[in-house]
Amino acid sequence: MRLQPFKLERFFVPFEFTARYMLGGSDSESVNIGDLLALEPGATEQFHNHWLGYTEAPGAPYLREEIARIYSATAPEQVLVFAGAEEAIFWYLNAALQAGDHAIIQTPCYQSHLEVARATGAEVTEWPLHFENGWAMELDGLEKNIRPNTRLIVLTTPNNPTGAHLSHAGQQAMVELARSRGIRLFFDEVYRELEHAPQHRLPAVCDLYNRATSLGVMSKSYGLPGLRIGWIATRDGEIFARLQELKDYTSLCNSAPSEFLGALALRNRGKLLERNLAIVRHNIELLDRFFQRWSEAMTWVKPVAGPIAFPKLKLPTSSAAFVQDLVDKQSTLLVPGEVYDRPGFLRLGFGRKNMLEALARLEAYLKAVP
């Protein structure tokens, strides 16, 4: 298996932990272990007594139970826990695709969707989102790409990096389309539950169609990437069985402390989401005003869900050069669209608390641009 370097991750290496202000992150503001343990009386003592032996390969039963509460028609036995969403993506695509198959992948996307799908030997067609069209998910374009050997459609909603989100009608139409052709669906739902208003919350796709899989993780909406706890939820028994076999070759089982803390966080997910949504709603108002003030420099499609936007740069410079100069001069990090093969765009994360200071740095930089 030959995988190309992961452009986003390679880009982050020199900057992620050194830039003072992070405006390019894709997750919600995190908390420390003490904050999590304080959510339940007695949790600190239980954590100290938590056994550090191997854990059950599919995930601790108490954790799978908490995860299953996120879904309405998917049971704990239909949840498989992985080391982050990344491991789940890697094995799901390997389980679902092989040479001779065709897959349709929405782009721009988290690079592993495209890269791992291609590495299986399957043929891949991109289903692009367009800024000019408000990053709308165009179902006509999707249907035209379906072939007799199309086995899988992959999409991310709410989307990273564009902030786009499927509508209820769009989700229904996709499920019907896939069902009528017997095509599997893989929905990367790592930003689910971070919709800015309740009417934008879609049902999880695994609850709608028995050949659909939902991807979830503690990292994004819940703001706990350091746990490295992700999962797939699916009623697709064939895929599920294969994934269990494949997981034995990578993480095998999960980190016992992370399973404990993940379950604790999920039992209190309402509180975590409320806090993270309050940050996102506050920040998006700051951004609205920012984009009004700087409409000559950049323009955006305002997202209705998630902590990410993908504005278009209107200055006569590449987004890569802009990002480099900004980090050099203001120690403030954005992500250049080049890492998503979309030059001219910037990924901007607004899930973190220090947005006001970070935006002030960006404004100071823009003021100094000749």
Note the residues at the interface with ligand PLP (CB under 6 A): 26, 84-86, 110, 156, 160, 188, 190, 217, 219, 225, 230
Of 25 and 58, CB closest to ligand PLP? 25
Tell me the C-alpha to C-alpha distance, in Å, between residue 141 and each of 56, 127, 130, 154, 336. 43, 7, 11, 14, 26
Nearest distance from residue 82's CB to ligand PLP, in Å?
A: 8
- Sign (positive or negative) of CA dihedral 150, 151, 153, 154: negative
Nearest distance from residue 79's CB to ligand PLP, in Å?
A: 16
Of 137 and 366, CB closest to ligand PLP? 137
Of 164 and 178, CB closest to ligand PLP? 164
Of 79 and 366, CB closest to ligand PLP? 79
Nearest distance from residue 325's CB to ligand PLP, in Å?
A: 25
Nearest distance from residue 219's CB to ligand PLP, in Å?
A: 3
Nearest distance from residue 128's CB to ligand PLP, in Å?
A: 16
Nearest distance from residue 160's CB to ligand PLP, in Å?
A: 4
Of 83 and 323, CB closest to ligand PLP? 83
Query: What residues are paired with 105 via a beta bridge?
Result: 126, 154
Which residue of the chain is nearest ligand PLP when measured via CB?
84
Of 203 and 226, CB closest to ligand PLP? 226
Nearest distance from residue 344's CB to ligand PLP, in Å?
A: 21
Of 101 and 188, CB closest to ligand PLP? 188
